[in-house]
Amino acid sequence: MENKKLITLVFGTSLILVLIVSLLLAGACAPAAPEAKGPIKIGALVPITGGLAHYGPHSIGGINVRLDEAGWKFKDRPIEVIFEDDASFDEVMALQKARKLVELDKVDVLFGPIASSSFLGTETYIDVVKIPTLAIGYRGELVEWDKPGWDFATRGSLAQQTYQAGKFAYERGFRTCNTFGADYETGYQGCGAFVDGFKSAGGTVVQMEWLGFGIADWGPYLAALPDADCTAVIHYGAEMISFVKQWHEFGLWNKQPLITLDTSTVSEPVLNDFGDWALGLLAATDYHWSLNNPINNKFVPAFEAKTGMKPDTTSDDAYTATSFFLAMLEKTGGNTTNEALREALFGLKIDAPAGTCTFDGEKGYTIKNTLVVEVQKIGGKLQYVVLKEYPNTTNPGYYTKP
Amino acid sequence: MEFVVISLLNGLSFGTVLFLLTIGLSLTLGLMGIVNLTHGALFMVGGYIGWTVAVQLGLNYWLAVLLGGIVAGLLGLCIEQGFLRNLYRLMNEQVMVTVGFVYVLSNLSLWVWGGIARSPFSAPALSGSLPIFGFQYPIHRITTIGIGVILAIGLWWLQEKTRIGAIVRAGMDDKQTISGLGVNIGRITYLVFFFATLMVGIAGVIGAQMLGVNLAMGWDILLLALIVLVVGGVGSIQGSLAGAIVIGLIDAFGRALFPQLAMFLMFLVMIVILLVKPTGLLGKEV
């Protein structure tokens, strides 16, 4: 009899505890109620560790510089940023950190993550909890073109800049090309759009090659390379750096000029590690610190003073995402409910270090300027110099692996 | 013809790096029964030390090779003496501890050297190219093959023709008997561990001529080392060499002829070896 009472007591207590915990969790998972007071919170998923760790300080710097300009407040409400490390390519970590920012820290908006794999880890969750998320990094290839969700390509798409690079390559006198692209979405968009632009101008593509990750030695690919007037390449991380170096070592630098379809990995510190043989490298990008406009002229010295580095495309993305968020708050009058912020973004036009950016609500990405740059030696140092600027570029399409 | 020659050279040069990387892993597993998954991270640390000495400080490249090896060797010894010596025959615990050290070393490297991947670097005299069948071929890859040949001969001689080599081989077969004959097997094992991690640090600097140095390479290169180990077999210089050459050549020809299948081909070879000869081409029972 006593045993029966004990069992009933234990069972009943456990049931009550489970109910209490469930209620608490349900409360924690509920969408954040609008706050009339209290800080406005930004949750930023940035790569502080892992293979993309060099983007972390640039992301953090860009956000901090923009908030310095805004005085870290909107009207009478302070603005806070909570930075979390998404460990670069770790989609499980990115999701865990996103959940922590939304459910425990109760942020009003998310920035990032950068890597596509990390984004894929968070995409469904973002759509379920309906938290506005502004991209730091290309997101155009992952946006649903017919109905924007809750993740917004405030940087635009890679295809916007590489399509123009394809046209530029033809204008430069190249008539045939090879391409090397990372064997996933970014590669398909980057090379697909380049080929589209190049062919539309009249060029012919000899070979499109797709490259996996974790490739240590590019020699085998270079040994089997067919002749062409130029080669375009898009990859990331250390693989891209060793690709460019080995391109030079195998004597291809002058035989087949190289066009890199993004400058974020072969950055200026890396160019100066390479040496003078890197002169003449062409690249496509959407930002360079030498751009002459009022916003960039203020941004560059502020970023250098804060971080000791020159800003790059990631710094500009982070600054621009923050500018978009501040403009959204302006439009909503400080209303930070998810739906109000989302509606405020559509059609928003801001001035950013890269130039004027307009968020196209129908398509879910930003219309912006893109550039073609070339490596030159200025003041004894190698740097990118802008050769041509393409204003207000739009996304040419969605490209899959042929 | 030029395609075959260039691919052969690519395979042999990359295979040499794999050989230098895998010798140590083979010896520690063969003699000590230790699964040292920190091996890839030590390769990375060796590479970073070499970059600091040769590029940042502008000193002699061969000094960088030596210092990269010594630092990796000392780190390896600390890990063995401080942790692994208490975990002999406890394979799960060895894996957990050594994986933990991969994260520790990666994050320490991030703190010291930052997140930017470092460009491949070499000695100035090896930085040019030679014309081979009308194709420009990097000089450093040819010298890497030469270094591999010299080291392979030297290590084979050490293993087969010297007393210390005989003791190591005997220790792999029967540790208790060799101990009973009065050999201080404890001292031998930690010397072997130091040598193994010294070699991987040297491999890191020599491999940096092709691969550069970056934070993520610890895991990527460990995977390749394990494939070579399975294919070549554990516990001998010959096994590591055979496995490295086979994988290097398959990688070179495979990527050139069947690019989409390149990574799959390495695993296919590994699966065939596991089915046909589980101890590897020239391996011993562990």
Q: Where are the domains of chain A?
A: 40-156+291-363, 158-285+371-393
Q: What is the pLDDT confidence band of residue B169, given thresholds at 50, 70 and 90?
A: confident
A237 touches chain B (CB under 8 A): yes
Is B284 domain-assigned? no
Q: Residue A101 gets which letter from DSSP? A: I
State whether B107 and A55 contact (CB < 8 Å): no
Is B282 domain-assigned? no
State whether B224 and A216 contact (CB < 8 Å): yes
Q: Which residue of chain B is at minimal alpha-carbon distance from A56?
A: B115
pLDDT tens column, A100-135: 999 999 999 999 898 877 888 898 899 899 999 998
State whether A220 and B255 contact (CB < 8 Å): yes
Q: What is the pLDDT of residue B200?
A: 94
Q: What is the pLDDT confidence band of residue A153, given thresholds at 50, 70 and 90?
A: confident
How high does pLDDT run on average in chain B? Answer: 88
How high does pLDDT run on average in chain A? Answer: 88
Instruction: Name, in order, each residue with C-beta under 8 angstroms of B54's C-beta and a sequence gap of 6 or more.
Output: B60, B61, B63, B64, B121, B123, B205
Is B140 domain-assigned? yes
A34 pLDDT exceeds 60?
A: no
Contact list in A for residue B259 (CB cut-off 8 A) is 209-211, 221
Helix axes A237-249, B185-211, angle to 10 degrees: 70
DSSP H helices, B117-215, are 139-161, 163-173, 175-180, 185-211
Q: Are A354 and A311 in contact (CB under 8 A)?
A: no
Q: Are A152 and A136 in contact (CB under 8 A)?
A: no
Per DSSP bridges, beta strands A349-352 and A355-360 are: antiparallel
Whole-prediction pTM: 0.84
pLDDT tens column, B232-278: 988 778 888 999 999 999 988 888 888 777 678 888 889 999 999 88
Q: How many residues does chain A have?
A: 402
Write b or e for each residue in A116-143: b if 16 or more Cβ atoms lie within 10 A of its Cβ, otherwise e. bbbbebbbebbeebebbbbbbbbbbbbb
Is B251 domain-assigned? yes
Q: Which two tokens stand for residue A102?
A: 């939304």
Share of chain A above pLDDT 70, in %: 92
Q: Are A399 and A192 in contact (CB under 8 A)?
A: yes
- The more confident residue out of B160 and B106 is B106
- The more confident residue out of A68 and B178 is A68
Q: Are B273 and B228 in contact (CB under 8 A)?
A: no
DSSP lists the bridge partners of residue A374 as A282, A385
CATH number of A40-156+291-363, picked from 3.40.50.300, 3.40.50.2300, 1.10.3720.10, 3.30.70.870: 3.40.50.2300
Of B7, B14, B221, which has the smallest distance from its Cβ to A223's Cβ? B7
DSSP lists the bridge partners of residue A388 as A372
Helix axes B39-51, B61-82, angle to 10 degrees: 150
A392 pLDDT exceeds 70?
A: yes
A74 touches chain B (CB under 8 A): no
Contact list in A for residue B254 (CB cut-off 8 A) is 220
Number of domains in chain B: 1
Q: Are A41 and A73 in contact (CB under 8 A)?
A: no
Of B55, B210, B217, which has the smallest distance from its Cβ to A217's Cβ? B210
CA gap A235, B227 in Å, rounded: 25
Residue of A52, A88, A207, A245 to mutate, testing the B interface (most B Cβ within 10 Å of its Cβ): A245
Is B121 domain-assigned? yes
SS3 assignment, position A5: helix
Q: What is the pLDDT of residue A341?
A: 95
Q: What is the pLDDT of residue A22?
A: 61
Q: If we measure between CA atoms, which residue out of A284, A281, A288 comes closest to residue A194?
A: A284
Q: What is the pLDDT of residue B190?
A: 81
Q: What is the pLDDT of residue B186?
A: 75
The domain that contains B184 carries what CATH number? 1.10.3470
pLDDT tens column, B43-88: 999 999 999 999 999 999 999 999 999 999 999 999 988 998 888 7
Is B57 domain-assigned? yes
pLDDT tens column, B192-235: 889 999 999 999 999 999 989 988 888 888 888 899 999 998 87
Q: Domain span at residue B17?
A: 2-276
Gyration radius of chain A's alpha carbons: 24
**Homologous superfamily assigned to A158-285+371-393:** Response regulator (3.40.50.2300)
Q: What is the pLDDT of residue A9?
A: 76
> Is the fold of A40-156+291-363 the same as that of A158-285+371-393?
yes
Q: What is the pLDDT confidence band of residue B282, given thresholds at 50, 70 and 90?
A: confident
B180 pLDDT exceeds 90?
A: no
Give mean pLDDT, residues A360-366: 80
DSSP H helices, chain B, are 2-27, 39-51, 61-82, 91-113, 139-161, 163-173, 175-180, 185-211, 217-232, 237-257, 262-276
Residue of B2, B16, B211 to mutate, testing the A interface (most A Cβ within 10 Å of its Cβ): B211
B35 pLDDT exceeds 90?
A: no
Contact list in B for residue A238 (CB cut-off 8 A) is 117, 211-214, 216-217
Of B107, B252, B259, which has the smallest distance from its Cβ to A219's Cβ? B252
State whether B259 and A56 contact (CB < 8 Å): no
State whether A219 and B223 contact (CB < 8 Å): no
Instruction: Name, in order, each residue with C-beta under 8 angstroms of A331's C-beta and a sequence gap of 6 or more.
Output: A344, A348
Is B93 domain-assigned? yes
The predicted complex's ipTM stands at 0.82
Distance from CA of B73 to the nearest CA of A (A): 23
Q: Which residue of chain A is at minimal alpha-carbon distance from B55?
A: A273
Give mean pLDDT, residues A247-271: 90
Q: Which two tokens stand for residue A159?
A: 């295809």
pLDDT tens column, A181-229: 988 888 898 999 999 999 999 999 999 999 877 777 888 888 888 999 9
